[in-house]
Amino acid sequence: MIRLIGILAGLFFSVAALWGLGNGLATVIADGQLKEPTVEHEFHLPARPANLQSDGPFGTWDLAQLQRGFQVYKEVCAACHSLKFVAFRDMAALGYSEAEVKALAAGFQVPGIDPATGEATLRPGLPTDYFPSPYPNAVAAGAANNNAIPPDLSLITKARHHGTDYVYSLLTGYRNVDTFSIGGKNVRDEFPEFATPPNTHFNPYFANLNIAMAPPLTAEGQVTYAEGQPRATVDQMSKDVAAFLTWTAEPKKVKRTQVGWPVMGFLLFATILAYLAKGQVWAAIKPKKKHA
């Protein structure tokens, strides 16, 4: 009797689960068919690949590109965006000498304490300091940017889906909403009511298509690269700063993959060795035959 009750209860819950799954699928399908397409659904673009040297399981850092990317950050992005999780001494990993790191740190003003009065003050940075924020607090940051607080860029490529490609695409993705079209469909023709609010800019790589940040990279040569480096086009500068922000978010990325391959090889060898050892240990023991 107890077994019968258990079977019936199991059938009841199985039918209920299947009914819930079917009802959910029907609702999703119906919603997808009945809902009108939105401008975000029709005109939001997936990120374009940056194709960096550090991509893939065998990627390596391009130190020259990382230095160019840091130059773009310092001369363009640092005016609004902080890099609070990166210390000046970390820059030595990009090929800067100890003297260059000290000079770099000294070029920034960081919060300090006046030893004579004990009051808060600003002082030249030291290699052990972290990159300071361009604003004293979030309220000041919002006030200076039409209430849109610029995000910290230390981990931005880890905080966004396909972060490296997203940063690269976003910086090169500003368009004129009046002329933008995809597959022959124009934004204005398909969604006449769509508008770019004041103090925002149309960018199809941004989630809701309207971003508060004005185009930071607007012209070739906006940043002057050293002799022998690629031309400082908007595309090149965007790719370089995306590479640099990939490094700030995951400075051990290349080292981890380089260590990972020998570890994977060792684990594979150990697995094969364990399998062969198991066969050797149990070879003399014959399984008992089952009687009919």
Q: Point out the annotated binding site.
A: 77, 80-81, 213
Degrees (nearest 5) of the Cα angle 138, 80, 153? 85
Region of 162 on the Ramachandran plot (φ > 0 left; ψ -120 to 50 alpha; else beta): left
Decide: helix, strand or coil at residue 109: strand
Q: Is 56 helix (H, G, I), strand (E, B) or coil?
A: coil
Nearest to 48 by CA among 207, 179, 164: 164
CA atoms of 141 and 146, how far apart (whole Å): 9
Residue 48's CB is within 10 A of a number of other CB atoms, namely 15
Q: Residues near 62 by Cβ (< 8 Å), separated by ≥ 6? A: 52, 53, 54, 243
Burial 8-19 (b: 16+ CB within 10 A, else e): eeeeeeeeeeee
Which residues are annotated binding-site positions for heme c? 77, 80-81, 213
Q: Are 43 and 202 in contact (CB under 8 A)?
A: no
